[in-house]
Amino acid sequence: MPRQATRVPLLSNSPGTERFLTVYRFGTPGARPKAYLQAAIHANELPGVMALHYLLPMLDAAEQAGQIKGEVIVVPTANPIGLSQHLYANHLGRYDFNLRENYNRNYLDIGDQVAAKVADQLGADEAANVATVRRAMLDAVDAFQAPNEPQFLKKTLMAMSIDADYVLDLHCDAHAALHLFAGASHADAVADLSAQIGSQATTVGRPDAIPQVMSFSACNMAPWLKLAKALPDAALPKTTFSVTIEYRGQGDVSHELGRGDGTALFKFLQRRGVVGGDPGPLPEPKCKITPGWGMDVGYAPKAGMLVYLKDRGATIEAGETICEIIDPLDPFSPDCKTPIKSVAPGVLFSRRRDGALTWVGQVVFRMACENELPHRLGRPGTDD
């Protein structure tokens, strides 16, 4: 029998309407390793949805063959609120209209609460300690009284993911090469995933750096980082591997890309023992793994029309002009073109589209550089 989806009810702000998540579950509940995958928490970012469109039948076939060794939860579209946000024929799914809150920000920060609860319950047995911590995490999420619709959605997603071994949050950028944001606690898994999906830029945080922005990816790994800091002598292994995969740009939706992306995700789950079978040889990596604070971010110093001299995925030298801001009102002035240059060598992995109208302070590019950049130290990994 094919795996059937379940409906998980959500709050609705409008009488006579309902919202729900569609959730697919494979394997045995509670089996390990557990993997959780979701796409489109920013509801107008659909390349990850296409990847899961192809992954789900692969998981179903593996289920029928008895090859799901752990547990897999897949949420093909994680934001029914944002899916309905159309304004004048434009699909907007990044911010809640009522609260003006980013759907990938302000998740529960339960690390301190969990550390206080389990401090006197941990012993010498790592496996028992992990089970204790996971119960405390689930209890903390369950006890949260969500005050509004977007917070209820975030609580519901966390309740399914917080005890997973692998959490993969699928996004895309405006116009970008395939790239990956990860923590530094699982270097082997980061390397495997980066190579398997063909990431062209992979950035990792410092091992001891607790996320400053509580995104979905961060909320699943931050409790373990806080536990390690609060209870340094506790017998706790590395646990949740939580990452954000950015599947290129919003326009990069096709059967060819989706099929390849879904297949790569399936092979990663095989490599991590979640699914049985031979994934074959690991592809050669397409990039070096670089530090999160080595990610340079370019900002628009003025308003105008963007024109790029470099495309996504390009290798850039220090001092090269990446894009120009054109003054559309005065082509005769010597200052009608304002160049924006790189400060260090690296890979240009994210940018806007040519011809976009920009405003002062808007992020216009991101680059992965091999070394930490002094002007980026302490800055969040994403700025918008």
Average pLDDT for residues 284-300, to the nearest whole number? Answer: 96
> For residue 379, what pLDDT is reported?
73
The CB-side HSE value for 256 (13 A sphere, CA atoms) comes to: 1
Q: Which domains does the chain have, with CATH numbers?
A: 6-287 (3.40.630.10), 293-376 (2.40.50.100)
Rounded to whole angstroms, the Cα distance separating 20 from 84 reads: 12
Lowest mean pLDDT among 137-141, 368-372, 377-381: 377-381
What average pLDDT score do residues 127-153 get?
A: 97
Question: Which carries the bigger pLDDT value, residue 219 or residue 13?
Answer: 219
| Percent of the chain at pLDDT exceeding 70 | 98
Nearest to 220 by CA among 207, 230, 211, 231: 211
The tens digit of pLDDT for each residue in 4-53 reads 799 999 998 899 999 999 999 999 999 999 999 999 999 999 999 999 99
The Cα 340–Cα 319 span in angstroms is 9
* Distance in angstroms (rounded) separating the CA atoms of residues 262 and 37: 11
pLDDT for 382 equals 55
Mean local confidence (pLDDT), 204-228: 92
Q: How far apart are CA 320 and CA 298, in angstroms?
A: 12
- What's the token pair of residue 10? 């959500």
Mean pLDDT of the chain: 95
Helix (H) or strand (E) holding 172: strand 166-173
